[in-house]
Structure 1
Amino acid sequence: MVIDPVEVLKKTSTGIIPTSLPSVSSLPSVLPDPIDQQFVGEAGSKTLWVVFVVMVISSAVFTGLSWRVPAKRLYHVVTTLITIIAAISYFGMATGQGISVNHISVRHQHDHVPDTYTDVQRQVYWARYVDWSLTTPLLLLDLALLAGLNGAHITIAIAADLIMILTGLFAAFGSDDTPQKWGWYTIACIAFLVIIWQLAINGNVQAKAKGDNVGKFFTAISGFTLVVWTLYPIVWGIADGSRKMSVDAEIITYAVLDILAKPVFGTWLLYTHARVPETNVDLGGFWSEGLSREGGLRLGDDDGA
């Protein structure tokens, strides 16, 4: 009996010996990219320039409005300073300044192979935190003066605000493998709750005491501000916190929030202030003459000699 080797190979190929091997692409990969660079792109860069222009125009408009007011320009001065500081901050970020790179080593755990690590490099715009540390206290001052809060409540609100901004900056440069980052974030959120208490509780009580018009306006504009401010820590958690948002998307989102919190807020405040006389702030002679000098020595007084 003659055995045909071709027939043997055909039978074997359909039985014991596999005719194909799994492709390499179907095998699971356990080795992540060695470096994950999360830097600004063209969209983010253009957005920074656009917001810079918006802040400059807003500053010019608010300055023009202040020239039309013969006296009592406190709201105008404070609000204009807010957009001027923001314009300077955005100019710095748009020109590539006020930026640092946070290096993070992300650990990937595996069941049957050793753990692997990815080196993440993400840009952090620390100039943004400098901006917030100067402009948000001024925003709170506008609202506090509108409501008629006393000095103690204003001091507590501004102190809590500075704690919130600085701890947010510390969290942005925190490490993932320690509770450091989210610890700072928690402290910032607690400080924000203090601000909410001062505005929503103490502020509303004082504003309503100044009349229905002031009470309704303060409730509306402070509520708008607190809603916008609440979105900031949410964006931070998605962007700098968990890095689920690109740097470009982070810049665009913060840009929208900054425009709402500064030019839109300022326009609303100044135009309503012009129509509602009850919103005027009576500081006596403090704005032009300083605090009372009663009891102080004056040149020319008789010294009894």
Structure 2
Amino acid sequence: MEGYYDVYKKVPPYAPTATSTAVPLPTVTHAPPQFEHITSEGHHALWVVFVLMLLSTIAFIVFSWKVAIPGRLLHQLMTYIALTSTISYYVMVTGGGWSFHPIWATEEHRHDIPDTHHLVLRQVFWVRYIDWLVTTPLILFALGALSGLSGSNILNTIVANVTMNLTGLFGAYTCRGKYKPGWYAMSWVAFIAVVWNLASNARATAQRRGSAKVYNPLAIYTIAVWIGYLVIWGVSDLSRTLSPDGEVIGFGILDLLAKPVFGLWLLFSYRKVREADVHVDGAWAEGFGHREGLLRVGGEREEDA
């Protein structure tokens, strides 16, 4: 509890308190809950990632200003991704975006000794999952636009990704540990669907378009980093072999690799290959007030009326 107080300046909820030992009859008491939460080390790590995310957001905004609107799509996507993570990490460093999740842990014993059970209250940062539900679809949309993937396949990839994130969230908040592997397996199945679209459909499209030189390394890099997320989730929320501090540090490193590093790599590499350019005209660049060539209700062009 001392580490908890150092970070949040208060005792954790459900903390055991001293009570009188004078009881008239013998009583059976349960062991106090075991708290698993970040300490000052994890809190400092959150501050480091927040500052780096903030600097990345400012950098992406500056880069966007230097590009004409028709070619600004990827720059804006990277800005939105970094901005969302900046906000989520600010929530965490200021003490919000988390809750204690109860887990009934079972300890098995040998020599016919009955198994024992105790309550574990583990700190879960639910704001991470909100972050990932916003940023990972934007990353996939950027990769899809870079490769020239069809809108249908981009949507399929994003839906699989959202499923992966939601099953991870549901697994993190499952009280019975024996059900967590089921959610974990669902996350892997959804991730395989994402990988299939990136490594098969999008790669083939990028090859035909001529942007494979830029797309392929970025797609492989993204798949490798996202495997890291599933591994960290498995050894933290699933098996609880990784401490909350280690979880914060691990996810923080992966977030920096998956967002600022990915974004800088994307923006500096796609300009070198003409076929990888993502150029959007029409209402995106000119606005919905552009009236040339509009049709009247009767079917005549406005300039002919």
Partner of 1:225: 222
- Alignment of 1:195 onto 2:194: yes
Shift of 1:104: 0.9
For the residue of structure 2 that corresponds to 1:117, the secondary structure is strand
Q: Which has the larger radius of gyration?
A: 1
Aligned to 2:261: 264
Contact 1:148-1:203 at 8 Å conserved across structures: yes
Structure-2 residue corresponding to 1:90: 89
Count of aligned pairs between the two proteins: 267
Corresponding letter in the other structure for 2:64: S
CA distance in 2, matches of 1:301, 1:70: 30
Residues 102 and 298 of structure 1: CA distance in aligned 2, closer, same or farther (over 3 Å): farther
| 1:210–1:122 Cα change, 3 Å | same
Taking a change above 3 Å as real, the CA distance of residues 186 and 277 of structure 1, as seen in their structure-2 partners, is same
- In 2, Cα distance between equivalents of 1:90 and 1:262: 13
> Following the alignment from structure 2 to structure 1, what is the Cα–Cα distance between the partners of residues 147 and 184?
29
**Cα gap change, 1:300/1:217 in structure 2, threshold over 3 Å: closer, same or farther?**
closer
Task: Report the TM-score, using the length of structure 1 for normalisation.
Answer: 0.82
The equivalent of 2:166 in structure 1 is 166
Q: Give the share of equivalent positions with the same residue, in percent.
A: 39
TM-score, structure 2 normalization: 0.82
Q: Deviations over 1:172-227 (max 9, x none)?
A: 01133543x2212111111111100110001111111122xx21211101100100
Provide the residue aligned with 1:67 in structure 2: 65
Q: Does 1:287 align with 2:284?
A: yes
Distance in 2, Cα, partners of 1:59 & 1:193? 30
Q: Equivalent residue of 2:117, what SS? A: strand
SS in 1 for 2:119: strand
Cross-structure match for 1:29 = none
Any stretches of 5+ residues in structure 1 without a counterpart?
Answer: 1-31
Change (3 A) 1:282 1:64: closer
Contact 1:93/1:99 (CA < 8 Å) preserved in 2? yes
The residue type equivalent to 1:205 in the other structure is A
> 1:242-300 CA deviation, whole Å, 9 max, x = no partner?
0000000000011110000000000001111233332222444142346x997674999
Q: In the TM superposition, what is the alpha-carbon distance from 1:113 to its structure 2 partner?
A: 3.5
The aligned residue for residue 150 of structure 2 is 150
2:237 alignment counterpart: 240
**What is the distance in 2 between the residues matched to 1:39 and 1:70?**
47
Structure 2 residue matching 1:37: 3-state secondary structure: strand
Q: Secondary structure at the match of 1:114?
A: coil
Paired residue for 1:54? 52
> For the aligned residues, what is the CA RMSD?
2.3
Contact 1:34 1:117 in 2 (8 A): no
Aligned counterparts of 1:45 and 1:230: Cα–Cα separation in 2:
25
The 4+ residue runs of structure 1 with deviation greater than 3 A are: 109-114, 292-302
- Distance in 2 (CA, whole Å) between partners of 1:298 and 1:241 is 63
